[in-house]
Chain A
């Protein structure tokens, strides 16, 4: 049984110009202990996918228009608020991009970790405190018992992200969603946080979804990769395959954007054009207008996500003919 199954998930937002699908027909699954990377530009629908799974989008304006999420055998779509509260924390937990603003500035970090545990387990105050100290230890906060009463503003960005991770793991979740966990951090701290996440995955055995726009982060952490563009999944494959034989022209473009010191190529490569706004998406293949290989027929219909080789799917009409031999 898969830990998480997402099928045909479509989330719509009510906007001034009518209802617009932020994500469309998103399907994927995740096994226990697996790390799935979701990669794409800002606005491609990565975060909306994660927030829809967590049911954290404000409704209205957001609405799950189609599809469903099944977690650990339980259908999450359509659960009541109260039932969903019990899933968040011990079931699925989440860390966010902005460690500087993701912690409440007026409560101590100990208080914020302990209340997470207290919301899901009946423990004495002393036990809560012990658990919080253990968690801070695990995420590598030195002299944890003293720092427990510190406030977020007394900590650096890297430390705050560690606290966020401690909080997210405090209830021993089966799935952790990390939404751009390192984007706001210094490069040296980024590597530490990623290492920490990998270690904790090994220790706790939870499934992880890492959302990022950084192919380097994907290469370092993920087992499998989902590439999103303009609200749709356009390619899915094991991490080695994505880097070796990307099939979608967009994925190839993303990989070419990674600057290289060794290869002989122009210093910085960019994909021409910009991601279309949700309300102004082109007909047919959404990447069409930016694609070097687009044919007039690409604008006729949205290419479906097709499994082209074992464990490798892409949504491009010309994937097979363009694939490197």
Chain B
């Protein structure tokens, strides 16, 4: 398994190289004069010239590239034009917020999605199955911002149980963090939970038909063990594959959710950066988010090997 982790880490290197090149190209690919575009229409020629020098755009391209990678090696992603602080520091302040939100949403997704998928599969075609699948359909169809709004109206405005927005760092107050993040995480999770419920259901139905399930029953194992050990261990294999994708969907979905609940995460940071043509920020943020997602997918691959011995021994 350590072998799998090591091989996957190695294979992540070219991916990160390509991503970093794309991030580098981002600013240079702006049509016309990037410095003028970044500075905006009201900038004076002197300001544009100053910006060009600040961003190193006056250098030949190969020197820019060397500078860029030298910076990356030192953890220096440049300075944000808007915030005036280092891109890395700004990202490290916001990225954990988004990761926290996404992982919390992932917990909801897994709990709701896998549980309702298993129950629906075990009671195939019963009213329980139909109710679970209708619920999944609603989850898939309702946009998360709309669900978020409904939740704010109900739980924050009418019942007053939860705050309508804002953010409390986990380190400051775990309870406060839970209170501020539950609605955003749930509204973000429901769409993915619906998808996962459907995938879990069909995966379970497929596995429950297999010969080894009949063998497990023929051995006199209790029903619970047949389902939760023999069936689930196999049904989880396709589910884990989707979990990697779900995490990246949750991260991108978080942009809207953060805006709705005024959570100071990556979504807000990057939206501001894009609107204000803060290219160094966009570039660095993109690189760091991608790195995180690559790590998530490596974890998924390792999990995959943990679940399926046939992968482990390849």
Contact = CB atoms under 8 A, between A and B. Distances in A.
Interface of A: 54, 56, 81-82, 85-90, 93-94, 96, 98, 101-108, 115-116, 119-120, 151, 153-154, 164, 167-168, 171
Contact of A81 (B211, B215, B223): B223
Interface stretch (B22-30, B95-103, B291-299, B302-310): B302-310
A71 to B, nearest CB: 13
B310 A153 contact: yes
Contact of B215 (A82, A108, A164): A164
Contacts, number: 83
A85 B215 CA distance: 12
Nearest to A82: B222
B212 A88 contact: no
Contacts of B222: 82, 85, 119
Interface in B221-247: 221-223, 225, 229-230, 233-234, 237
B309 A88 contact: no
B3 interface: no
A265 B151 CA distance: 83
Contact of A167 (B210, B214, B219): B219
Interface of A is mostly: mixed
7 residue pairs, one from A and one from B, having the closest CB atoms: A89-B220, A88-B220, A101-B211, A104-B212, A151-B309, A116-B219, A94-B218
19 contacts: A85-B220, A93-B218, A93-B220, A96-B211, A101-B211, A102-B215, A103-B212, A103-B215, A104-B212, A104-B233, A105-B212, A105-B309, A106-B233, A115-B221, A115-B229, A116-B219, A119-B222, A119-B225, A167-B215
Nearest to B222: A85
Interface of B is mostly: helix
B207 to A, nearest CB: 10
Contact of B219 (A101, A107, A119): A119
B216 interface: yes
Nearest to A171: B220
B127 interface: no
Contact of B211 (A87, A90, A102, A171): A102
